[in-house]
């Protein structure tokens, strides 16, 4: 009984401390900077985290950048930072932070004199700016931090190098700070990483698909926001401004955004929030050199990183002082760029893989100017290219070839021009196919403006070349009754089979490029389309061999496949598949 009471008392004492700590509510620890962790004591080993500042001296009113960082691969969950007189106990000056990873606390009645975490999510780097306050007796100072790795493992009194005072010693005593009644830390709302559309258009640029979605409530919302604080006075662009970025979206491995000079992948400055092997979401910086896996870049001046994975939705936020660079240009945040967005899986070592979804902004965006940016669909020219190629190769060419192969006998009649009807139909359908292919070719090359690489363009160019050879070769054929005519017939048919196979492969790879949703519906519909066609080619082959040879056994099968009926059924199915794919391309 007594033991139970003791247990309840213990739990009652420990629990509030745990809860407080995980949200950085640690004003009880203002003086000692030791977290109240159920009696566990600080580590005595050297800390795997360090505190550095960008200055070795300071004057009144100076701004000093302070970094808390992990020196190895272990991240920290909690932290507390103060500036103190060398060897002293009282926090001095005040801090500023950006982002959601850090918050400001009031300690010793001095508001904003202490920085702490807002959640126990993993961090590798925290950036804060400290402003020296006027003091009547300036002394050397140092930055002191506590780092918490987990509940039992933490380091206190991790110190920066000492900053000596380099200013003029004041002879007039200015009004000292900290005399205003303390707004207790209770007024600070602790927050986990919460990314919302609140503030869009007012304080931040928001780029999302669908437009107007709120990542805080819509699970299917792919969201990115940027808000840029003006550069600290005195510093000049391009390195001055601080941008805070947020990303959120459902993804198996990563969400990412990039700055681009065009709307395509290639030469883009990219930030990625990726789920890494340790189960944590981390920020990566990368540069794409084409339509392949981007090269990893050093993170650079990225800090205050927070990431989380919740119910398959990845979120992260971070601040960056890196300029934007697409190699052609190297600029400050206020230069307009197209925004790209992509998401997809990561490999088991945290490397990103090919995206399963992507979109881009329809115009260039200046991220210092708060606005709403919608994710546009696929460019019209790519849609036109795909649609034309589909109509050409899955319907016009198919009909033209079938007419030449199977309907010669049905349309033997001579037209007013003295040619067989089947021949006229074949030639006009095939010429239209070649024409449509050429148009789609010009459309895509003027959009891409070069060679984009991969299997699709190679297959596509082969189709184009062989399709030109076909009518050219026809010009040199010998007369229908010549003894070598069979050579043309064979070459023409062989080439036709090769072109058709390559065109189907080009369409499959084209649709894969085009439809990078997870389930690749368009590719599957195309699979059905090809199956449908193959089944009918087989039926027609069978049917014609029945007619020609009249074998008694096959005759039975022939009864089951009435010719004209098959034609109608084939055409209807062909059109249904074509329409399904065209609609799919239109809405993408």
Choosing from 43, 492, 521, 542, the residue that interacts with ligand HEM (CB under 6 A) is: 492
Q: Which two tokens stand for residue 118?
A: 């807002």
Q: Which two tokens stand for residue 268?
A: 């883009």
**Residue 452 binding: pick among ligand HEM, ligand NAG, none (C-beta 5-8 Å cut-off by kind):** ligand HEM
Least distance (Å) between residue 399 CB and ligand HEM: 11
Choosing from 456, 533, 563, 570, the residue that interacts with ligand HEM (CB under 6 A) is: 456
Q: Give the binding range for ligand HEM (CB under 6 A) out of 135-143, 185-193, 511-519, 568-576.
A: 511-519
Q: 477 — phi, psi (to 5°)? A: -75, 155
Choosing from 150, 277, 289, 415, the residue that interacts with ligand NAG (CB under 6 A) is: 150
Q: What is the DSSP letter of 395?
A: I
Least distance (Å) between residue 355 CB and ligand HEM: 13
The reply to whether 511 sits near ligand HEM by the rule CB under 6 A is: yes
User: Is the distance from CB of 208 to CB of 215 less than 8 angstroms?
Assistant: yes
CA–CA separation, 221 and 214 (whole Å): 7
Closest to 157 in 3D by CA, of 69, 34, 23, 65: 34
Judged by CB under 6 A, the chain residues 64 through 83 that form the site for ligand NAG are: 64-65, 69, 71
User: Is the distance from CB of 393 to CB of 385 less than 8 angstroms?
Assistant: no
User: Is the distance from CB of 316 to CB of 306 less than 8 angstroms?
Assistant: yes
End-to-end CA distance of the chain: 68
SS (HEC) of 492-553: HHHHHHHHHHHHHHHHHHHHHHHCCCCCCHHHHHHHHHHHHHHHHHHHHHHHHHHHHHCCHH
Choosing from 321, 382, 443, 506, the residue that interacts with ligand NAG (CB under 6 A) is: 321
Number of residues that bind ligand NAG (CB under 6 A): 26
**Residue 443 binding: pick among ligand HEM, ligand NAG, none (C-beta 5-8 Å cut-off by kind):** none
CA 394 to chain centroid: 33
Q: Which of residues 205 and 585 has its CB atom nearest to ligand HEM in the complex?
A: 585
Residue 251-280 contact track with ligand HEM, rule CB under 6 A, x = bound: -------------x----------------
Burial of 373 (0-12, 13-18, 19+ CB in 10 A): buried
Residue 11-50 contact track with ligand NAG, rule CB under 6 A, x = bound: ---------------------------------------x
Least distance (Å) between residue 464 CB and ligand NAG: 47
SS (HEC) of 413-434: CECCCCCEHHHHHHHHHHHHHH
- Interaction site with ligand HEM (CB under 6 A): 264, 382, 385-386, 389-390, 393, 401, 404-405, 426-427, 430-431, 433-434, 441, 444-445, 448, 451-452, 456-457, 460-461, 463-464, 467, 470-471, 474, 489, 492-493, 496, 499, 503, 506-507, 510-511, 513-514, 585
């Amino acid at each position: 009984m007594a033991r139970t009471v003791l247990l309840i008392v213990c739990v009652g004492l420990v629990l509030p401390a745990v809860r407080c700590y995980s949200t950085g509510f640690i004003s009880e620890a203002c003086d000692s900077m030791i977290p109240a962790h159920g009696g566990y004591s600080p580590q005595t080993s050297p800390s795997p985290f360090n505190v550095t500042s960008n200055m070795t001296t300071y004057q009144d009113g100076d701004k000093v950048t302070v970094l808390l960082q992990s020196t190895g691969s272990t991240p920290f969950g909690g932290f507390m930072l103060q500036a103190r007189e060398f060897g002293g106990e009282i926090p001095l000056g005040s801090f500023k932070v950006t982002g959601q990873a850090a918050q400001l606390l009031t300690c010793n009645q001095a508001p904003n004199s202490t920085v702490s975490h807002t959640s126990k999510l993993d961090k590798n780097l925290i950036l804060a700016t400290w402003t020296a306050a006027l003091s009547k007796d300036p002394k050397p100072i140092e930055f002191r931090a506590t780092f918490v790795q987990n509940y039992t493992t933490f380091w206190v009194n991790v110190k920066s190098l000492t900053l000596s005072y380099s200013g003029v010693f004041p002879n007039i005593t200015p009004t000292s700070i900290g005399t205003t009644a303390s707004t207790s830390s209770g007024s600070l709302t602790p927050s986990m990483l919460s990314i919302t559309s609140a503030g869009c258009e007012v304080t931040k640029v928001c780029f999302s698909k669908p437009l107007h979605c709120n990542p805080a409530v819509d699970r299917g919302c792919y969201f990115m926001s940027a808000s840029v604080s003006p550069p600290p006075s005195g510093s000049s662009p391009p390195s001055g401004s601080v941008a805070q970025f947020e990303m959120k979206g459902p993804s198996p491995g990563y969400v990412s955004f990039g700055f681009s000079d065009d709307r395509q992948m290639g030469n883009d400055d990219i930030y990625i929030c990726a789920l890494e092997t340790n189960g944590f979401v981390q920020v990566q910086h990368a540069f794409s050199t084409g339509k392949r896996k981007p090269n990893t870049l050093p993170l650079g001046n990225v800090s205050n990183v927070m990431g989380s994975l919740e119910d398959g939705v990845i979120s992260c936020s971070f601040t960056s002082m890196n300029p934007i660079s697409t190699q052609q240009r190297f600029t400050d945040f206020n230069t307009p760029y197209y925004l790209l967005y992509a998401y997809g899986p990561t490999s088991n070592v945290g490397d990103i893989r090919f995206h399963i979804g992507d979109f881009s902004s329809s115009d260039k965006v200046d991220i210092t100017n708060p606005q709403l940016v919608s994710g546009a669909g696929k460019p019209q020219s790519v849609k036109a290219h795909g649609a034309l190629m589909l109509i050409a190769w899955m319907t016009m060419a198919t009909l033209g070839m079938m007419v030449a192969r199977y309907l010669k006998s049905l349309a033997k009649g001579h037209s007013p021009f003295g040619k067989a009807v089947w021949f006229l139909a074949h030639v006009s359908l095939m010429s239209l196919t070649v024409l449509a292919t050429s148009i789609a070719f010009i459309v895509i090359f003027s959009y891409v403006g070069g060679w984009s690489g991969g299997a699709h363009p190679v297959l596509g160019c082969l189709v184009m070349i062989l399709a030109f050879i076909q009518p050219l070769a026809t010009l040199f054929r010998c007369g229908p009754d010549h003894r070598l005519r069979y050579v043309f017939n064979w070459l023409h048919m062989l080439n036709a089979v090769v072109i058709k196979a390559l065109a189907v492969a080009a369409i499959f790879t084209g649709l894969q490029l085009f439809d990078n949703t997870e389930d690749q519906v368009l590719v599957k519909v195309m699979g059905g389309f090809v199956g449908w066609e193959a089944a009918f080619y087989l039926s027609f082959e069978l049917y014609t061999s029945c007619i020609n040879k009249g074998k008694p056994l096959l005759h039975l099968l022939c009864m089951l496949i009435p010719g004209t009926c098959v034609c109608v059924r084939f055409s209807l199915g062909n059109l249904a598949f074509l329409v399904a794919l065209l609609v799919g391309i239109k809405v993408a």
